[in-house]
């Protein structure tokens, strides 16, 4: 692996890659051995328990999970495309590694543009990578792994785009639109992961039947979804859709439980208090919001919508700021969901019924439907893309 910050050195790497790109078979044994070694060091890191995003990555890399992924694919005659250029988001500490992971599993040489912000999680992952790749048996993997950092140097983006076999872009809509103006070879593939909106569907009838311990467990799962990376991930729920017989007592107890967890486990930055207050003022002016009979502290804010606004997917809370809305049945999703929706987390509902509703009503949106607590568990299938197949080719 090479971690490069100098523009001149990046240009040298690009010149070398123009002449020398050697891909491997998908799930090649040396790739799997490398990931096993990486996972062992990550699992033993003293920093793992401090960062939920590192723990989530460690979970994905476990031997059982990797084996499960492999079983889902027929990769007998499938090889990497060649060179994959990854442009990763600036506000996510570990996203760069997931993008790299999917690229290396697919047998590709990877050039990953990492965030300029010095996330501690990113530093930990890069240090572990450097350490693992010192082993001579991973020389080939080292030659397939480049992590680069540069400011708005369009020339570097243009050069890498001109020689890549695939370009993977993560970011906001505007950023993606600007990058896509830079052409890639006509034979090359492009995968984009843009701004997305996610929600959670909770069945009040089922929640009302839970014991106190069972409900607390559901709340812990919801907390891990809702407060992960300060609610910044695309799969973070912003809208809670309640289904079933309306029961304000159950809702209040649910949110009280979330609030208690947040008080004990969530560190709220000072800027969040000001931002949340500002958002409350803006929402009071622009949205149809019901006055609640209960209100929590700055670590949890809930706004009950009486009407779904046209700009629903722009209602993105941060630091524990949620919107809730009561639906009569799953068919109401067709009036709510659009193509900006990514993930539905659910509790107390049959997953197949949600899928059937989406298909039957021709709903354009929703790429993932997972139980509460699983919002941020990434997989090789993301945003409707199968990344192993998308980043490899089959030889007939």
Query: What is the per-residue pLDDT across 317-326, written as a single tens digit (0 to 9) for each?
Result: 999 999 999 9
Q: Where are the alpha helices (DSSP H) in the chain?
A: 7-19, 29-43, 52-60, 63-71, 95-105, 120-132, 139-142, 154-163, 173-180, 204-208, 212-226, 248-265, 270-286, 351-360, 387-390
Q: What is the pLDDT of residue 293?
A: 54
Between 49 and 124, residue with greater pLDDT: 124
Contacts of 50 (CB under 8 A, 6+ apart): none
Q: What is the pLDDT of residue 75?
A: 87
Computed over every residue of the chain, the mean pLDDT equals 94
Pairwise CA distance, residues 343 & 186, whole Å: 32
Q: What average pLDDT does this structure show over 344-363?
A: 97
Q: Is the pLDDT confidence value at 218 over 90?
A: yes
Between 2 and 102, residue with greater pLDDT: 102
Contacts of 311 (CB under 8 A, 6+ apart): none
Q: What is the pLDDT of residue 246?
A: 85
Pairwise CA distance, residues 38 & 27, whole Å: 15
Tokens of 355: 């899928």
The answer to whether 179 and 169 have CB atoms below 8 angstroms apart is yes
Sign of CA dihedral 356, 360, 363, 364: positive
Q: Give the pLDDT band (50/70/90) at residue 1.
A: low
Q: Is the pLDDT confidence value at 102 over 90?
A: yes
Sign of CA dihedral 242, 244, 246, 249: negative
Q: What is the pLDDT of residue 157?
A: 96
Q: What is the pLDDT of residue 291?
A: 66
Q: What is the pLDDT of residue 76?
A: 87
Q: Is 320 left (phi over 0), alpha (psi -120 to 50) or beta?
A: left
Pairwise CA distance, residues 322 & 241, whole Å: 11
Q: What average pLDDT does this structure show over 159-165?
A: 97
**Per-residue pLDDT reduced to its tens digit, 172-198:** 899 999 999 999 999 999 999 998 999
Q: Give the pLDDT band (50/70/90) at residue 396.
A: confident
Q: What is the pLDDT of residue 67?
A: 95
Q: What is the pLDDT of residue 295?
A: 61
**Per-residue pLDDT reduced to its tens digit, 223-276:** 999 998 889 999 999 999 999 998 889 999 999 999 999 999 999 888 898 999
Q: What average pLDDT does this structure show over 76-81?
A: 94
Q: What is the pLDDT of residue 152?
A: 78
Q: What is the pLDDT of residue 94?
A: 95
Q: What is the pLDDT of residue 6?
A: 87
Pairwise CA distance, residues 170 & 90, whole Å: 9
């Amino acid at each position: 692996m090479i971690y490069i910050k100098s523009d001149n050195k990046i240009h040298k790497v690009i010149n070398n890659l123009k002449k020398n790109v050697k891909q491997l078979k998908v799930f090649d044994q040396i790739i799997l051995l490398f990931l096993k070694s990486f996972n062992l060091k990550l699992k033993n890191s003293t920093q793992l328990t401090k960062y939920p995003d590192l723990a989530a990555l460690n979970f994905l890399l476990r031997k059982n999970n990797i084996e499960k992924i492999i079983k889902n694919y027929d990769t007998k005659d499938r090889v990497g495309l060649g060179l994959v250029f990854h442009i990763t988001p600036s506000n996510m500490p570990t996203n760069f590694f997931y993008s790299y992971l999917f690229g290396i599993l697919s047998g590709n040489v990877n050039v990953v543009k990492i965030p300029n912000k010095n996330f501690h999680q990113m530093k930990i992952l890069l240090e572990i990578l450097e350490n693992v790749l010192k082993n001579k048996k991973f020389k080939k993997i080292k030659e397939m792994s480049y992590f680069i950092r540069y400011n708005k140097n369009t020339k570097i983006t243009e050069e890498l785009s001109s020689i890549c076999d695939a370009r993977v872009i993560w970011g906001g809509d505007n950023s993606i639109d600007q990058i896509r103006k830079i052409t890639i070879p006509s034979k090359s593939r492009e995968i984009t992961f843009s701004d997305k909106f996610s929600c959670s569907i909770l069945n009040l009838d089922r929640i009302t039947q839970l014991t106190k311990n069972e409900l607390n467990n559901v709340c812990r799962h919801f907390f891990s979804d809702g407060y992960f990376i300060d609610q910044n991930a695309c799969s973070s729920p912003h809208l809670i859709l309640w289904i079933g017989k309306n029961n304000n007592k159950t809702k209040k107890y649910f949110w009280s439980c979330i609030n208690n967890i947040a008080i004990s486990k969530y560190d709220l930055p000072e800027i969040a208090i000001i931002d949340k207050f500002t958002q409350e003022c803006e929402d009071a002016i622009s949205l149809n919001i019901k006055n609640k009979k209960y209100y929590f502290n700055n670590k949890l804010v809930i706004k009950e919508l009486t009407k779904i606004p046209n700009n629903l997917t722009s209602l993105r809370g941060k630091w524990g700021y949620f919107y809730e809305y009561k639906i009569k049945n799953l068919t109401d999703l067709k009036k709510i969901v659009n193509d900006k929706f990514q993930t539905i987390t659910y509790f107390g509902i049959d997953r197949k019924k949600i899928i059937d509703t989406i298909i039957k009503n021709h709903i354009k949106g929703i790429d993932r439907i997972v139980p509460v607590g699983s919002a941020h568990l990434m997989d090789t299938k993301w945003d409707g893309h199968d990344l192993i197949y998308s980043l490899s080719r089959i030889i007939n």
